[in-house]
Amino acid sequence: MKKMYLSLLVLLAVLWISACGGSTKGVINAENNKVEKNETLKAGEFYQYEIVIEDKMNAISVEGEWRVLDGGDRKANVFVMDEENFLKFDKGEQFKNYYSSGEKITDNFKIRLVGKYKTAKTLYYLIFDNPSEEDDKKVEFKLLMDYEWGEGTR
Q: Is residue 9 part of a domain?
A: no
Q: Is residue 154 part of a domain?
A: no
Q: How remote is the C-alpha of 140 from its chain's centroid? A: 14
Q: What's residue 43's pLDDT? A: 97
Q: Is residue 12 part of a domain?
A: no
Q: What is the CATH number of the domain that holds 43?
A: 2.60.120.680
Q: What's residue 121's pLDDT? A: 87
Q: Is residue 16 part of a domain?
A: no
Q: What's residue 22's pLDDT? A: 54
The DSSP H or E segment spanning 10 is helix 2-18
pLDDT per residue, tens digit, the chain (154 aa), is: 554 444 443 333 333 333 444 555 678 777 788 999 999 999 999 999 999 998 888 889 999 999 999 999 999 999 999 999 999 999 999 999 999 999 999 999 999 998 876 668 899 999 999 999 999 999 999 999 999 887 654 4
Domain range holding 26?
22-149
Residue 89's alpha-carbon distances to 2, 12, 97, 139, 154, in angstroms, are 39, 25, 10, 20, 31
**For the chain, how many structural domains are there in total?**
1
Q: Is residue 13 part of a domain?
A: no
Q: Is residue 79 part of a domain?
A: yes
